[in-house]
Amino acid sequence: MHGGTLAVYGGALALLALAVGAVAVRGVAEPGVALAFTVLIALGECVRITLPGDREQAPIGAAGALAYALLGPLRGLPTAHGVLQVVAVTGVGLLLALLSASLLPRSARGHRSAPWRDRARRDGAARRLLGAGFAAAVFQPLYNSGLVDRISPDGPAYGVFLTLVAALAALCDATLAAVLRRDRSGRRFPAALEDELRSLFGIGSAITATGLLVSLAAGEVGLWALPLFCAPLLLAQVSFRRAGAIRATTGQTIASLARATEVAGYTPPGHARRVADTACAVGRELGLGTRELALLEYAALMHDIGQLSLVEPVPDGATELLPDEEQQRIARLGSEVIRRTGVPRQVAEQVARLADPCTGRPDEDERAVPLAARIIRVANAHDDLLTAARGRGVGEAVGRLEVLELLRLGRGRVYDARVVDALVRVRG
């Protein structure tokens, strides 16, 4: 594990141990309320969705933990559960969900048994525990000391106060998520944080709003607020699942198109996948967000579709060795095919421009040629030249050094200098 991940996991485990020990010594305040929120969090963690960028999220579990952290009066009566009980209840709910998932047979878990999903589940549990603890640490001491009583629960000021606390908790969760994502994917922290902050405007805002509504409504209707106000969030999950199914269909279409050139004998087996992997690695190094990386991967997988228009295949599919005019013609023809597949239009635009030459002026290149196109051109050249080196019998290590040197020679003239430098860092 990297240092950031160790710090998050270590902090979550230490906080949970402290909270469970304190509750065991002091006893549970309002046991019925604690049990209701424990069950809600555990059930919510079992009903998860997958967001773009392979993010796993448990909206109902996260909203339940936030609601308990911000819970003040219950049906007009004061509560006294405090910070450590919030952490203990959240932790027990998370542990029950993790335990139930691990007890399921592999056949029942299906695709959810993938290692990255198990890791995402653990990451999410650590984040939610620390996030709930943070929200409770801000709100509960003020509530239990009576300072919050000066704000009328019936007035707008109380709602504004809770909203500010929830917003701070959301920022805390986004920061923790960025730390974990940086360690998992190797992305730079600013880019990972920007990506997580963008996600707050999607399902994150729904989670925060639901947690606020539950905590506020519980003051009037009691525990009935839990199922009543979590139902809309459950419907939102259904919508996200449908959107995920559409993305999966798009991915299957793109994968089929990417294999068309290989099946027809125009490109070597695995070429499109290798170019896509290299392009995404360079994109992460340059700080692209999740959506930009997804579009980059789509375009990289389909960058050679235009070769199907050729009468005779290019030897080894190495378009990089063709004249610039021929490369541009193939790129434009491929773009026309892609436009008719229903994938995002940016993908076709990136493929259409990937053979356009660089001017040597970074500002002018950024305006004229999309960054994704410049990345794919370098990634494609890297694989084409490496394949050619293998064909000449050059050793793998020597071939890689030779290819990187050739790319450096074209730096700022044929290839984007910033992209070549990023490739050297990730593949050098």
Q: What share of the chain is helix, strand, coil (3-state, %, to 5)?
A: 80, 0, 20
Phi first, then psi, for residue 310 (nearest 5°) are: -75, 145
Task: Extract the tokens encoding 103.
Answer: 């007890």
- Chain CA centroid to CA 162, Å: 27
* Maximum alpha-carbon separation in the chain: 81
Position 290 scores a pLDDT of 77
| Contact present, 299 and 351 (Cβ < 8 Å) | yes
Query: For residue 266, with 0-12 CB atoms within 10 Å meaning exposed, 13-18 middle and 19 or more buried, which class applies?
Result: buried
Give the pair of three-digit tokens for residue 383.
């694989």
Torsion sign, CA atoms 178, 278, 300, 243: negative
Angle 124-129-130 from CA coordinates, rounded to 5°: 100
Asked if 320 contacts 385 with a C-beta cutoff of 8 angstroms, the reply is: yes
**For residue 112, what pLDDT is reported?**
43
Residues of the chain with pLDDT under 50: 107-113
Quick check: 211 and 41 in contact, CB under 8 A?
Answer: no
Residue with tokens 């579009």: 295
Q: Is 85 exposed, middle or buried (0-12, 13-18, 19+ CB in 10 A)?
A: buried
Coil, strand or helix at 135? helix
Pairing label, strands 49-51, 55-57: antiparallel
| Cα atoms in the 13 Å half-sphere on the side-chain side of 48 | 24
User: What's the pLDDT at 111?
Assistant: 45
